[in-house]
A and B are shown apart, each in its own frame.
Chain A
Amino acid sequence: MKSSGTKPSTSKIRKFFKRLFARKIVIFGAVLVVVFVLAALLAPYISPHDPYKQNLKLSFAKPSAQHVLGNDELGRDIFSRIIYGARTSLAIGFVAVMIAAGCGILLGLVAGYLGGMVNSVISRVMDALMSIPAIMLSLGLGIIFGAGMTSLMIILGLATVPTYTRLMSAQVLAIRNSDFINAERVLGASNIRIMFSHILPNCLSPIIVLFTMNIGGTILAEASLSFLGLGVKAPMASWGAMVNEGYSRLITNPVFALAPGICIMLLVLGFNILGDGLRDVLDPRLRGSI
């Protein structure tokens, strides 16, 4: 059964990619994302220098053959720090969005399926969370959890939970009363089975799109928080922190702040384009138009 089952699915995957990459811009986005992900994964192998090794002789050195983008205040190689910074940014982006999606999907599923009082309570809490500006919320949570990578992930994750909850509960509401869910109820399936085995898989397409787009947003937010000093701890390389360190010397040594800034821009752009492309493929309402 397995072997015959995989056959149509591989062709389906091929078809999926064909449609995804029908627009050239999506290829560009995907390449950007893949390049950064590879850089992050292979950081120890491809970075030319140790990103933490200080060399005060080279403090604020201009770009040279040895150090492509020059060195920072403490003489650390900026190029290597950017490669390692990709690790931090992507790790925080992924984990934070995983936390957000995990909590949001669960809450949204429960709220949408059970409705009534449960839905009201969850929705109102989410509305309250959403009414606080994200950066304020992050600052507040940052004070509670303290600085550091783990708390950054939690903070950024919690700040985006409402988006997922809302999207999910709206999705669930739309299919909760559809015939195939009624059919499950008629068959005698339990609520848990209906929720997880039947409703959840049918709600995932828009969640995947939001997921991709949010990674970009979260990386940006991480940069902002690091810039504000709530980010990762000192020696660790993070793009936001690098911009923070470099912006005061923007005129004398522009590479210092611009290089990580451009990386942030490109990665966020890549994720957004990819998310857009995914939405076009996964959203059935847009299916005919591409």
Chain B
Amino acid sequence: MYLIRGYAVPYEMRMKEIKHLLQINNLSVSFRNDDIVTKAVNGISYYIDQGEIVSVVGESGSGKSVSQLAVLQLIPTPPGSIDSGSVTLEEEKLHTLKPTGPEMRKIRGGKIGMIFQEPMTSLNPVKTVGSQLLEPIIIHTGLNEKEAKKQAVSLLSQVGIPDAEKRLGEYPHQFSGGMRQRIMVAIAVAGNPKLIIADEPTTALDVTTQAQILELLKSITMRHGTALLLVTHNLGIVARYAQRIYVMYAGRIVESGRSQDIFAHPSHPYTRGLLNAIPRLDDSKERKLQPIDAPDKISTHDEERCPFLPRCKYRCDMCSHQGIPDLTATAEDGHFAACYLSREVLDNLDKNNCEANRIDRRKPFTDHILEIENLSVHFPIKRGILRMNAGKLTAVDQVSIKIKRGETYGLVGESGCGKTTIATSIMRLITDNEGEIIFNNLHLNRLKASELRRQRRKIQMIFQDPYSSLNPRKSAGTLVGEPLKIHKLVSTRTAYESRLDELFTLVGLSPSLKTRVAHEFSGGQRQRLGIARALASNPDLIVCDEPISALDVSIQAQIINLLEDLQQELGLTYLFIAHDLSVVKHISDTITVMYLGKIVETAPCDELYGNPLHPYTQALLAAVPIPDPMIEQTREKIIISGEVISLMNRPAGCCFSDRCPYTMDICREQVPPGKNYGKDHEVACFKLSQGMNYPQA
């Protein structure tokens, strides 16, 4: 697919002969806060060649972003400081330049372009897009304003913004998230950079938009011969785009090499762990995810030992007696791993404990626990000084869902599809809705307040953000015990304490942690607390609203496994809401795909992934990258145009009609009804119901 240059020459020789575009040697960065010095980056070295796509992969706190900021001298000092290291861009030694000096300013935005994670905050809201785009062009290319404007228009059309000339005069808020990230790409290329550093450029975007932006980045860098450094935590993206990879853990590079080598033969326990921990779109459903252990406190590890030691499942005596392992060469050219154990040893250890990796998916389904009939939720739109109602915004439109007792029901869709609104309606946090919500034969929407409060203990919820969903002032025990007190489920102090211990153990936390406050826990532990709190009142149904999307990849597997184990043990029913199709595939029995408040497709899990019928489902599935470069190369990429539009401008007919590649006249006029295509597979699409087939993904 792309050319991998120069690999015929042995790696060591190449190192001597070829001058790299950017070369970083022994970079260390630390932060000082309240007399505590944290080493964020610990003597890392890496390089990027002309026109290459290199990826730095790591979880939060691995130092992947900090090291890029250090290269650009953007570390705030104090509290941060660059302790050692050299940064060479072409012939220029960046580390010797003054951070605020004119030479460094020429580098930033000139030779190195930058794209940050959050498109909503990286553009100045009070200046027009044009002036923000003209600025780097004028500064770095020396064109006059007229020429620069011409250049700006051409850049905007290059990044796929129609009506470029007119839109230059608009302000950032008039653009959607994906459009803003396109503008960021245009700004990054404006100074004709040799290198673009993109720090999690698509993490804040929807799946289909993510695919568009990454494709754009790739094509634009290829056209200009620009090198691209892609900082991300998403292994799928890495597999799809990167030529070389650096895996970072705790401020060190633990593995580096060509993309296909690392995915085919991961040689560091951390990389192996990550690849086993993430659910994949091409997984069989029976594979049990293997999470990476997380000790109570990662920070307690020994400075002199391998940083991954406390979490490593392969660790042996040697690791705890020797110092930090250096990067050593493996069988392939240019593939290095910082581990004392060779790949063969790791493989052998894996073979010995591969049992118990499958899970039994057979669940006895009986009656329906929750039925949602024709649920519609409208929000009033208020305008003017008098806040008069100026119309309504339909967030959920005529949705019907039936959840069987004991199953996991997946609800998938991009932002604005109404999935969270459905959850909050079930939880009665929004009470203004049409339609019926029937739980255990009770019409929840018709219950009196006191009766509803009593019923609440039977439906519980797990929230997306484990940081904001726990009261920061309460101890862990009080948080988990809250439902016991509210519903008076225990009568004595000892019963209360023993129930707490039971709940803590159930979610895999030590009961001795009861007295700690929430901020003393890690993200994964906090989510466990959230689960324990939800379980405290013995619920029948748990609504999980994106329960793992705020967690690190290695922790996600733990929570997924915990949810699955709890389901088997306690016979719970889950409504699992997510935007990540691989996770949903892994955990769900039945899946509903939503778009702009409408259900577009509902099917049992295997049927949906094996035979997706709605064009939107197909596009969604195609947009999810699979963490395997070999598969990615052969995959056909259907990239649908446009973005999820605002609910305010929902098309009159089928809600997907303005993005669908197969739109017909009828689609723009009428709303397609849901129709059953056998095997409980229901799709709302005219093209299908008229018996026409279109190419499958």
Contacts and interface: CB of A to CB of B under 8 A. Distances in A.
B487 interface: yes
Say whether chain A's binding surface is mostly helix, strand, loop, or mixed.
Answer: helix
Contacts of A188: 452-454, 456-457, 483, 486-487
B545 to A, nearest CB: 9
Given A183-B463, A187-B457, A202-B471, 6 more contacts: A1-B514, A8-B516, A180-B471, A188-B457, A189-B482, A198-B471
Range for the number of chain B residues in contact with chain A: 35 or more
B483 A187 contact: yes
8 contacts: A179-B464, A183-B470, A183-B530, A184-B471, A189-B482, A193-B486, A198-B474, A202-B472
A186 interface: yes
B240 to A, nearest CB: 33
Given A179-B469, A180-B468, A202-B471, A186 B460 contact: yes
Given A4-B515, A187-B533, A179 B468 contact: yes
Nearest to A18: B34
A179 B429 contact: no
Interface in A183-208: 183-190, 193, 198, 201-202
A183 B473 contact: no
Interface string B201-245: 000000000000000000000000000000000000000000000
A19 B486 CA distance: 37
Interface string B522-535: 00000000100100
Nearest to A198: B471
Contacts of B142: none
A114 to B, nearest CB: 15
A201 B482 contact: no
Interface string B454-481: 1011011101110011111111000000
A55 interface: no
Interface residues of A, number: 22
Given A185-B429, A188-B483, A188-B487, A180 B456 contact: no
A5 interface: yes
- What 8 A-B pairs have minimum CB-CB distances, sorted nearest first? A188-B456, A179-B469, A188-B453, A179-B468, A180-B471, A201-B473, A179-B463, A187-B483
A198 B465 CA distance: 18
Interface of B: 33-34, 79, 424, 427, 429, 452-454, 456-457, 459-461, 463-465, 468-475, 482-483, 486-487, 514-516, 530, 533, 537
A183 B515 contact: no
Residue in A1, A4, A183, A202 whose Cβ sees the most chain B Cβ within 10 Å: A183
Contacts of A202: 471-473
A1 B471 contact: no
Given A1-B515, A202-B473, A187 B427 contact: no
Interface in A166-194: 178-180, 182-190, 193
Contacts of A185: 427, 429
Interface in A1-51: 1, 4-5, 8, 19
Nearest to A178: B468
Contact of B482 (A8, A182, A184, A190): A184
A5 B513 CA distance: 11
Nearest to A185: B429
A288 interface: yes
Nearest to B457: A188
Contacts of B424: 182
A5 B475 contact: yes
B515 A187 contact: no
B520 to A, nearest CB: 8
A116 to B, nearest CB: 12
Given A179-B463, A180-B468, A201-B473, A186 B429 contact: yes
B515 A186 contact: no
Interface of A: 1, 4-5, 8, 19, 178-180, 182-190, 193, 198, 201-202, 288
Nearest to B33: A288
A182 B463 contact: yes
A41 to B, nearest CB: 32
A258 B33 CA distance: 45
A4 B456 CA distance: 33
A201 B470 CA distance: 14
Contacts of A198: 471, 474
A187 B456 contact: yes
A268 to B, nearest CB: 31
Nearest to A188: B456
B501 to A, nearest CB: 12
B454 A5 contact: no
Contacts of A1: 514-515
A4 B477 CA distance: 13
Contacts of B475: 5
B18 to A, nearest CB: 42
A106 B591 CA distance: 47
Contacts of A186: 427, 429, 456, 459-461
Nearest to B536: A187
Contact of A187 (B468, B472, B537): B537
B461 A183 contact: yes
Nearest to B453: A188
Nearest to B458: A188
A201 B472 CA distance: 10
B356 to A, nearest CB: 34
Contacts of B483: 187-188
Contacts of B537: 187
B469 A180 contact: yes
Residue in A184, A188, A189, A198 whose Cβ sees the most chain B Cβ within 10 Å: A188
B471 A187 contact: no
Contact of B453 (A179, A180, A190, A201): A190
Nearest to A19: B34
A180 B474 CA distance: 11
Contacts of B471: 180, 184, 198, 202
A168 B210 CA distance: 41
Nearest to B518: A180
Contacts of B487: 188
A15 to B, nearest CB: 8
Contacts of A190: 453, 486
A189 B457 CA distance: 10
A109 to B, nearest CB: 15
Nearest to A191: B449
B533 A179 contact: no
Residue in A19, A178, A182, A187 whose Cβ sees the most chain B Cβ within 10 Å: A187
Contacts of A8: 515-516
B473 A187 contact: no
A5 B533 contact: no
Contacts of B486: 187-190, 193
B265 to A, nearest CB: 42
A184 B452 CA distance: 14
A190 B454 CA distance: 11
A178 B184 CA distance: 31
B465 A182 contact: no
Nearest to B464: A179
Contacts of A187: 456-457, 460, 482-483, 486, 533, 537
Contacts of A193: 486
Contacts of B453: 188, 190
A183 B469 contact: yes
Contacts of B460: 186-187
A182 B459 CA distance: 14
B576 to A, nearest CB: 16
Nearest to B471: A180
Nearest to A2: B515
Contacts of B463: 179, 182-183
B451 to A, nearest CB: 11
B542 to A, nearest CB: 11
Contacts of B482: 184, 187, 189
B456 to A, nearest CB: 4
B533 A183 contact: yes
Nearest to B545: A179
A182 B543 CA distance: 13
